[in-house]
Every structure is written in structure tokens, then in C-alpha cells.
Amino acid sequence: MSRLALSKSRYCLGERCPKALYLQTHEPELAAPLSEGALRTMEEGTLVGAEARKYFPSGVLIEADFREPEQALLETQRALERGASVLFEAAFVYKGTFVRVDILEKNGHAWDLIEVKSSTQVKDEHVSDLAIQHFVLEGNAMRVQRTWLMHLNRECRYPRLQELFVKSDCTDRVKKRENSVGKNIEALTKMLGENMPPAVEIGPYCDSPRPCVFKAACWAHLPAHSVFELHGTWASTKFKLYERG
């Protein structure tokens, strides 16, 4: 895969901030090390994903890791040819965008796309994640019937682990983004081929939904004592003051 290729995580990063995606691609040395909290969240996500697979005992795991996209694509094709009805980490590529699907479950003559998250509710970022996967699957003639977010059940109590997850139907929310995904891919791919990063001002997205690893690089122009050090002030107010100069 080309280093300019998109993945679902890179697409979602570019949708949040194209400059962050550009820096990740061309100037990765500017990224701050991942915090302990971020690393812990990644570990939790891996554990939750493995637990979710237990709900689909007939599932076939595509074992090639993230460093072997071509092998993952080959394993996925073979599993489909053998008639697998549930796949874990299935790999697909379309228009230079590579995705791995947490769970792909046969539904009649179509498929259900299931994304697993360690959160307890559907967030907007999850819908973006599902939308790019839906786009790539449809581009591979894999008709998607429903799109689901399989997330933790806040009402679950030990030892009733059979109630650990709930599924939220995101089909309608994903369909509303169908027309924008292809355009976003084209725009992000073109942007990555430029010689300079896009001009993107700092904003609330630098910290939401989580702090960006390039924040220090993008905020380096601020003076030692800026409006962002004001205590007891809403972030939105700080940015309004910043924009006024």
C-alpha cells in the first residue's frame, strides 16, 4: 500500500482535521508520544474486540496483521470463496482506501456491518468510522443490509457477561453520509499529494474527541501567556478571544 493511501483511521483523522492527516503522513516526527491513557484505551479496545467475537462462534478470523494489508485482502477473499457467513477483521480496498471490518455477518443475500467499540453509547466519530467502511464494502459489490455499533452495555453487571454488549442500529445515520464519503476521499487524497500542509487554524477539534498528537506543533506560535491559559473560562470563549487577536 502507498504511504498516501487512506485507511479508516486515517480517513477519520482527515475528516476531523486534514492538517493532522498531512502531518501524520509527511512529518510524523512532529507527533507527541501517545499518553498512557491513550495506550490504555487502545489495549481496552483490543480486549473488547476479542470479547465481542465470542458472540459469533462460527466466525472466521482474518489473521494477517495491520502490517500485511495484501495478505489480509487475500485471506478475506479466500474466506468468502469458502462460504464464510461471519468474518472478523475482513479486509477490503476501494479507491485507495483500505479498511478492516470488526465483524461482517451474512444477512440473507447481503451483509451486516458491525463495528465494536468500548464506549457505552454511539458517538459521531463512530458513525464516520462506519460510513467509510460501508462505502468501501459497497465499492466491492458487498451489499450492506444494516450497519451496527456493538458497544458496552452500561446496565451489565458481573457475572452476567452474556449481557456485556448491546447493538445500536446506525444504518440511517450512515446512509445520510453516503454522498460525502467519496468526495472526502478525493479531497484528502489530493491534499496528501501537495507540497505543503493545508492551512488549518487551531480550534476545538484539537482536543475533541481527544487531544491531537500534533497539537504542540500546531500551537507552537502562541505566546507564553495566551488566552488559553485563562482559568474558569469556557473553551469556546477562549477561541473567540483568540480569533479577535
Is residue 186 over pLDDT 90? Answer: yes
pLDDT tens for 16-45 read 999 999 999 999 999 999 988 888 888 999
In this prediction, residue 207 carries a pLDDT of 92
pLDDT tens for 190-221 read 999 999 999 999 999 999 899 999 999 999 99
In this prediction, residue 108 carries a pLDDT of 96
Are 25 and 191 in contact by the 8 Å Cβ rule? The answer is no
Name which of 57, 110, 67 is nearest 91 in CA terms. Answer: 67
> Across residues 84-99, what is the average pLDDT?
98
| Cα separations in angstroms, 179 against 45, 132, 184, 191 | 29, 11, 9, 19
**What is the dihedral sign for C-alpha 176, 182, 183, 184?**
positive
> Across residues 63-83, what is the average pLDDT?
97
> Across residues 56-84, what is the average pLDDT?
97
Q: How far is CA 39 from the centre of its chain?
A: 16
Is residue 2 over pLDDT 80? Answer: no
Packing angle, helices 178-192 and 8-16, rounded to 10: 90
Q: How confident is the model at residue 113 (pLDDT cuts 50, 70, 90)?
A: very high
Q: Within the chain, how many helices (H) and strands (E) appear?
A: 9, 7
Would you call 195 exposed, middle or buried from its count of C-beta atoms within 10 A (0-12, 13-18, 19+)? exposed
> Across residues 94-116, what is the average pLDDT?
98
Phi, psi of 173 (to 5 degrees): -65, -35
pLDDT tens for 134-184 read 999 999 999 999 999 999 999 888 877 788 999 999 999 999 998 999 999
In this prediction, residue 78 carries a pLDDT of 99
In this prediction, residue 238 carries a pLDDT of 86
Are 115 and 165 in contact by the 8 Å Cβ rule? The answer is no
Upper half-sphere CA count for residue 28 (Cβ side, 13 Å): 6
H helices of 83-220, in order, are 124-139, 171-175, 178-192, 215-218
Distance CA 212, CA 131 (A): 22
Q: How far is CA 76 from the centre of its chain?
A: 20
In this prediction, residue 3 carries a pLDDT of 64
Q: Which residue has the higher pLDDT, 21 or 223?
A: 21
> Across residues 212-235, what is the average pLDDT?
90
Strands 165-169 and 60-61: unpaired
- Centre a 10 Å sphere on the Cβ of residue 63 and count the other Cβ atoms it contains: 11
List of domains in the chain:
6-192 (3.90.320), 204-243 (no CATH)
